Amino acid sequence: MRCARLAWKGPALNTAIEKTAPQWVAGFMSGTSLDAVDAAMILTDGTDVLDFGPVAERKYTPEERAVLQAATDAARAWNWQGPRPEGLFRAACETITKTHSDAWAMMTGQAGAPKPVLAGVHGQTVLHRRTKPGQPGATLQLIDAPAMQAALGVPLAYDFRSADVAAGGQGAPLAPAYHAALMNRLGGEPAVVLNLGGVANITARTADGTLIAFDTGPANGPIDEWVEGHGKGTHDAGGKLAAAGRVHEGLLAQLLAHDWFDEPPPKSLDRYDFNASMARGLSLEDGAATLTEFSAAAVAAGIRQLPEVPARVIACGGGRHNLAFMAALARQLPCAVLTAEQAGWRGDSIEAEAFALLAARTLRGLPLSWPGTTGVPGPQMGGKLLG
């Protein structure tokens, strides 16, 4: 089975699902940090979020993480040239199905948990090529959709990025529709949602309600890779290594001179466009400090590309647990920096919740992306439905 080609045509979507009334929908996300599957449930009509349901986190075992990393490494070596590494992709798809099914059971098995009528699964991104003038973009998320739909037992929405890329968009970020729904619950002031995953991306809502979204640069990815490469775990827990090191100012200035920062938004990155090799030659602590400062400076550079200064930046994703990262953001950004929890959100579940909302939007035929979020020419529907 060529699990990533997404050409399987299943039965018609279950017409018993009400397409306009609010429904409980589950969402799942496995990020490029390869640490866990996050699952979350929201009550939504695809536009607004009316309530929040149970969440679950299914950590990857070292063996499962190794399978997904092997598929990622193979995808990078392949890079859409020559024979696909089908064996490694198939093994990754089996791991993805198993771990998502476990997360589903953990979430729906909680006392009083509602039964979702639809699930949105992103799959595992192993390769992403951003769209440039004269160079079409491409993106690859591994998922065996029929196996996943059978494991979950409800209709499945998946393959959320391909239509946007095919239409000339970046295919990322895709969370702005959900970020907008969250910001609507806070009031109308200009704000930015900052997602600190392997890559950092922002969704800005301006004073007139316009959404602007793009990747700002690296976030946790190079830091995690640096720490793991030194045999010190999978990430800089709490930012302790960075806090013990010194920033190499000359290298930082060199990194910030990258052409990426001159590109206008919207724009997107692959997880490995910026990687741990940037800190080669530094000590463990100094490398962690320099990579952390660079990621924060990249976010600040992205904020400067916005048409107006936001009232606040709300950080979500794993990077908000890195105290050195958050301190660097507070120093460099021109506004207040809050964590998702300080805004009343569930910071570890936002990406999973976002794909629940995107699943509902897919069901209703609503756009997932816009010119200001991915650079697509017009509002773009996306996603596929199965089950």
pLDDT of residue 45: 96
Quick one: tokens of 187?
Answer: 């009031």
Cis amide prior to 371 (ω within 30 degrees): no
Residues 319 and 381 in one domain: no
Residues 6+ apart with CB under 8 A from 168: 131, 136, 375, 376, 377
Q: Tell me if 47 is assigned to some domain.
A: yes
Amino acid present at 53: G
Residues 154 and 189 in one domain: no
Q: Tell me if 3 is assigned to some domain.
A: no
pLDDT of residue 187: 79
Q: Tell me if 7 is assigned to some domain.
A: no
Residues 270 and 318 in one domain: yes
Residues 58 and 156 in one domain: yes
Cβ neighbours around 25 below 10 Å, total: 31
Q: Tell me if 6 is assigned to some domain.
A: no
Q: Is residue 80 packed enough to be buried (19+ CB in 10 Å), middle (13-18) or exposed (0-12)?
A: exposed
Calculate the alpha carbon distances from 258 to 135, 262, 278, 286, 308 in Å.
19, 8, 12, 21, 24
Instruction: Confirm if 299 and 329 have CB atoms less than 8 A apart.
Output: yes
pLDDT of residue 7: 28
In 3D, which of 80, 53, 17 has the Cα closest to residue 360?
Answer: 17
pLDDT of residue 62: 95
Residues 165 and 232 in one domain: no
b/e string for 108-126 if b means 16 or more Cβ within 10 A? beeeeeeebbbbbbbbbbb
pLDDT tens, N- to C-terminus, the chain (387 residues): 345 333 223 333 444 576 778 999 999 999 888 889 999 999 999 999 999 999 999 999 999 999 999 999 999 999 999 999 999 999 999 999 999 999 999 999 999 999 999 999 999 999 999 888 888 899 999 999 999 999 999 999 999 999 999 999 999 889 999 999 999 888 777 899 999 999 999 999 988 888 999 999 999 999 999 999 999 999 999 999 999 999 999 999 999 999 999 999 999 888 899 999 999 999 999 999 999 999 999 999 999 999 999 999 999 999 999 999 999 999 999 999 999 999 999 998 999 999 999 999 999 999 999 999 999 999 999 999 999
Tokens 């509602």, located at residue? 114
CA dist., res. 216 & res. 297, Å (int) = 9
Q: Tell me if 302 is assigned to some domain.
A: yes
Q: Read off the CATH number of the domain in which 201 is found.
A: 3.30.420.40
CA dist., res. 382 & res. 358, Å (int) = 9
Binding residues for ATP: 31-38
CA dist., res. 181 & res. 43, Å (int) = 12
Binding residues: 31-38
Q: What domain range includes position 366? A: 23-171+349-386
Q: What pTM does this model have? A: 0.86
Amino acid present at 330: A
Phi then psi for residue 364, to 5 deg, are -85, -5
In 3D, which of 117, 120, 126, 121 has the Cα closest to residue 91?
Answer: 126
Instruction: Confirm if 302 and 216 have CB atoms less than 8 A apart.
Output: yes
Query: Apex CA 325: angle with CA 319 and CA 326, to 5°?
Result: 90
CA dist., res. 278 & res. 218, Å (int) = 11
In 3D, which of 318, 350, 333, 348 has the Cα closest to residue 223?
Answer: 318
Residues 248 and 289 in one domain: yes
pLDDT of residue 209: 86
Residues 28 and 151 in one domain: yes
Residues 232 and 149 in one domain: no
Instruction: Confirm if 313 and 329 have CB atoms less than 8 A apart.
Output: yes
Calculate the alpha carbon distances from 335 to 241, 294, 338 in Å.
26, 19, 10
Instruction: Confirm if 116 and 154 have CB atoms less than 8 A apart.
Output: yes
Q: Please state the domain count of the chain.
A: 2
CA dist., res. 361 & res. 112, Å (int) = 26
pLDDT of residue 1: 36
Q: Tell me if 340 is assigned to some domain.
A: no
